[in-house]
């Protein structure tokens, strides 16, 4: 647990830029419905309140709108602030989302109304332990009496649920996008089979463009930029914040409809039209070679003897697809490349996230750098592998295989007692072992590993 927190919290040091983004807190205002009875009554009778009619005409080209008054029968607000990764609220009934002020209004019945909950703030991003900005800030406002909250009129009415989330966060890194946004979106929105409106705060066009195929598969409507939205949108139901269980993983016991990682991978394979649902066993006698994609890192945790390492993989009997950063950047194309392979090999880092595109029964091989990093490396990219129907292999670098020797004397604690460095604090261990080394493989040792890997995959 200690290692986990150290590891996860430390990710914020991966880039100083992380500190710059600020997630907009979303306000959930809860109004007691009895305060609004006159208004609600009118709502019912005319079908649509007079102030909404003209605006509805203006915006009636919005695909998701339907000009009906949602009968307020059983409004409900359920929030969960107790899970490890994210804070979420689900609202049913009369939900009004005002993008400009980042406020979601909901009218609840008097039986569920609590004055101390009349204003709830939350950051809709599944990494709540990371920054102070992420933590729950609940503002306790005076009980909303008759003069309390005034509801903004609806400009656009949708007849599908809303899912409000953030495309901010560590959004340049595929591991974080998959762990913190895509899987949580799948868990929250997939159940609506495309009939759901996604609203993104901290709207990041590059994320929406890069993951377009996934977003299109989750919703038949384009993602709305919540912060730039000048209309007040009304929904029969809204999820604010995304459900999230753990990194790159799903706990079927906690997920709606019992979704598991296999379901998610089926969804990914269908989204990217991946051709191989599972590997076809390779036999030595057939003369075929298993295909191995080797993702090459740059600058940090880079293989200094990369060319020799690639040659060793080929010598071991694999067909190698070497992929540098420029190959990995076109996600739709690269997903197909990964899917054509039987093994994914990579030094610890976000490149391993591409395991999501492997066919079932393929193998993920992680090279763990020096420095007692087995636990955090397995936490991010090892433990989840079986649930994905994949196999896992790891190669842990020894003290002889790190470029840290260029910076520290051989009798330094970095070599003699790495745990003592980790104990000095998150950033210390992170800076030295995660961001401060390259890996120089001992080729003899590496060949032994490859031979075992080959034998575990290929039959006679």
Ligand X SMILES: *[C@@H]1O[C@H](CO)[C@@H](O)[C@H](O)[C@H]1NC(C)=O
Residues at the contact surface with ligand X, assessed by CB under 6 A: 79-80, 82-83, 114, 116-117, 120, 254, 279, 281, 299-300, 302, 361, 391, 403, 436-438, 456-457
Nearest to 185 by CA among 105, 267, 115: 267
Choose between 48 and 117: whose C-beta lies nearer to ligand X.
Answer: 117
Encode burial over 19-57: b for 16+ CB neighbours within 10 A, e otherwise.
eebebbbbbbbbbbbebbeeebeebeeeeebeebeebbe
Choose between 320 and 439: whose C-beta lies nearer to ligand X.
Answer: 439
CA angle at residue 1 from 354 to 7, to 5 degrees?
45
What's the min distance (Å) between Cβ of 157 and ligand X? 25
What's the min distance (Å) between Cβ of 122 and ligand X? 9
Strand partners, 133: none
DSSP-derived 3-state class of residue 398: coil
With 0-12 / 13-18 / 19 or more C-beta atoms within 10 angstroms meaning exposed / middle / buried, residue 316 is buried
Choose between 64 and 248: whose C-beta lies nearer to ligand X.
Answer: 248
Total length of the chain: 460
Which helix (H) or strand (E) segment is 374 a member of? helix 374-381
d(CA 444, CA 449): 9
Phi first, then psi: give them for residue 226, nearest 5 degrees. -60, -45
Nearest to 372 by CA among 441, 411, 428: 428
What's the min distance (Å) between Cβ of 403 and ligand X? 5
d(CA 207, CA 286): 43
Choose between 349 and 436: whose C-beta lies nearer to ligand X.
Answer: 436
Choose between 210 and 239: whose C-beta lies nearer to ligand X.
Answer: 239
What's the min distance (Å) between Cβ of 228 and ligand X? 28
Choose between 75 and 437: whose C-beta lies nearer to ligand X.
Answer: 437
Choose between 260 and 361: whose C-beta lies nearer to ligand X.
Answer: 361
Choose between 156 and 458: whose C-beta lies nearer to ligand X.
Answer: 458
What's the min distance (Å) between Cβ of 233 and ligand X? 22
Task: Please give the full DSSP string across 220-277, using - where no structure is assigned.
Answer: SSPPEEGGG--SEEEEEEEEES----BTTB--TTTSGGG--HHHHHHHHHHHTT-S-S
What's the min distance (Å) between Cβ of 53 and ligand X? 33
Report the residue number whose CB is nearest to ligand X. 79
What's the min distance (Å) between Cβ of 408 and ligand X? 12
Question: Residue 370 has what DSSP assignment?
Answer: S
What's the min distance (Å) between Cβ of 10 and ligand X? 16
Choose between 151 and 457: whose C-beta lies nearer to ligand X.
Answer: 457
Nearest to 227 by CA among 140, 75, 100: 100
Cα 428 versus chain centre, distance? 26
What's the min distance (Å) between Cβ of 332 and ligand X? 26
């Amino acid at each position: 647990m200690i290692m986990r927190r150290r590891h996860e919290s430390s990710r914020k040091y991966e880039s100083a830029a992380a500190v710059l983004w600020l997630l907009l807190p979303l306000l959930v205002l809860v109004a007691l419905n009895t305060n609004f009875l006159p208004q609600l009554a009118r709502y019912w009778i005319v079908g649509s309140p007079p102030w909404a009619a003209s605006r509805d005409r203006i915006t009636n080209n919005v695909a998701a709108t339907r000009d009906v008054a949602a009968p307020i029968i059983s409004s409900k607000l359920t929030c969960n602030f107790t899970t490890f990764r994210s804070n979420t609220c689900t609202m049913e009934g009369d939900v009004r989302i005002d993008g400009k002020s980042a406020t979601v209004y909901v009218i609840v019945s008097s039986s569920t109304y609590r004055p101390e909950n009349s204003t709830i703030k939350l950051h809709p991003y599944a990494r709540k332990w990371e920054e102070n900005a992420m933590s729950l800030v609940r503002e306790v406002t005076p009980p909303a009496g008759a003069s309390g909250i005034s509801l903004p009129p609806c400009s656009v009415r949708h007849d599908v649920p809303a899912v409000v989330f953030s495309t901010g966060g560590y959004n340049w890194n595929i591991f974080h996008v998959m762990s913190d946004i895509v899987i949580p979106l799948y868990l929250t929105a997939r159940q609506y089979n495309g009939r759901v409106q996604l609203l993104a705060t901290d709207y990041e066009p590059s994320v929406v463009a890069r993951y377009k195929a996934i977003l299109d598969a989750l919703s038949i409507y384009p993602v709305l930029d919540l912060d730039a939205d000048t209309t007040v949108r009304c929904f029969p139901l809204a999820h604010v914040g995304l459900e999230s269980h753990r990194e790159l993983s799903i706990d079927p016991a906690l997920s709606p409809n019992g979704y598991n990682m296999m379901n998610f991978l089926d969804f990914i394979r269908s989204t990217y039209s991946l051709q191989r649902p599972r590997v076809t066993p390779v036999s030595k006698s057939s003369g075929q070679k298993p295909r191995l994609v080797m993702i090459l890192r740059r600058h940090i945790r880079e293989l200094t003897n990369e060319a020799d390492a690639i040659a060793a993989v080929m010598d071991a009997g694999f067909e190698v697809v070497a992929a540098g950063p420029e190959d990995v950047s076109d996600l739709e194309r690269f997903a197909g490349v990964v899917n054509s392979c039987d093994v994914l090999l990579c030094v610890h880092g976000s490149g391993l996230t591409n395991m999501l595109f492997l066919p079932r029964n393929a193998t993920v091989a992680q090279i763990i750098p020096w420095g007692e990093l087995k636990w955090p490396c397995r936490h991010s990219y090892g433990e989840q592998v079986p649930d994905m129907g994949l196999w896992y292999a790891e190669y842990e670098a020894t003290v002889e295989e790190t470029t840290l020797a260029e910076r520290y004397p051989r009798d330094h604690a970095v070599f003699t007692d790495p745990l003592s460095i980790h104990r000095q604090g998150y950033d210390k261990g992170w800076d030295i072992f995660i961001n401060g080394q390259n890996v120089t493989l001992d080729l003899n040792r590496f060949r032994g590993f490859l031979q075992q890997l080959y034998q575990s995959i290929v039959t006679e």
